[in-house]
Chains A and B, each alone.
Chain A
Amino acid sequence: MSRSMLQTTAVIMLLVVAVTGCATIEEYPKASIGALGGAAFGGLIAAAAGGGGAAIAGALIGGALLGGFAGNALDQRDKRLAAEAQPRALETAPSGKPVAWTNPDSGHTGTVTPVRTYQSGGTYCREFRSNVTIDGKPDKAYGTACRQPDGSWKVQG
């Protein structure tokens, strides 16, 4: 690879980091970079399923985080189950208490755990951790979501 190509690649990677603004970039670089594609994909699934605004918002939350998991090995049902668990966890679970999902078809499992709650400009936001186990291999990602006026939760960054 030429020197100029390396420089271009480095600049692109820095821009991705700046756009995603993820504090865990060093620990989970793939998860951070994969987030944008996952978000778009999650919205697409919800729209295809005929979901309304709230359903799309929920799917965006799931998609944004799940897109970061290595290899994106979750199937459609996994993604739907995880996307349903996320707003439920954010709305109802105390910090440290996981909300679990299981797909009996694939055997994949996961949890969504709020880890910190705060207010930003009168809006509630919660940091959370999402764990999945795919074929016995655990993976995890971190995110922050803020509650929207319509009651949905939107992942930040």
Chain B
Amino acid sequence: MMRGWSMSVTLACMLGVLVPSGGMLAQAAAPPDAKTWVQEHDKNGDGKLDREEFHQAVIESFFFRDTNKVGYLTINELRVVTPEERKALQRNGQLTLQEYLNALHRDFEAADTDRDGLLTVEEIEIYIRNAG
């Protein structure tokens, strides 16, 4: 359960970054709006996120979190640090895009409960709710 909790927080962090009204999860008292987030990144309009759409969304979130644009994230840019992120940060104080992608794709697998390779709004909401 601890594993599921940590991954949920990671996904929730990313959702918080990408919600159009802005702000990291830490800034938002309300939970991230998964529906808006999926709509923003659902390029083919099927109402779900496939791996490629998700991948692009993760890269974009990394770009906007990297406020000084040095190509990696530091503790100051991560207002909410998940266990996965903390592990990476402890190695050299930096979180690379590859480490970020690896963590978030593990989230994808955990949230995709029907294993169809697509994330629905419902799956994301359930995944986040279970984290609580």
Contact = CB atoms under 8 A, between A and B. Distances in A.
A122 B71 contact: yes
Contact of B71 (A116, A124, A151): A124
A95 B66 CA distance: 16
A94 B60 contact: yes
B102 interface: no
Nearest to A123: B71
Interface in B29-82: 40, 56, 59-60, 63-64, 66, 69, 71
Interface string A114-138: 0011110011100000000000000
The interface residues of chain B, by DSSP majority, are classed as helix
A151 B56 CA distance: 22
Interface residues of B, number: 12
Interface residues of A, number: 12
B97 interface: yes
25 contacts: A94-B18, A94-B20, A94-B40, A94-B60, A94-B64, A95-B56, A95-B60, A96-B40, A116-B56, A117-B56, A117-B59, A117-B60, A117-B63, A118-B59, A119-B59, A119-B71, A119-B97, A122-B71, A123-B71, A124-B63, A124-B66, A124-B69, A124-B71, A147-B69, A151-B69
Interface of A: 94-96, 116-119, 122-124, 147, 151
Interface of B: 18, 20, 40, 56, 59-60, 63-64, 66, 69, 71, 97
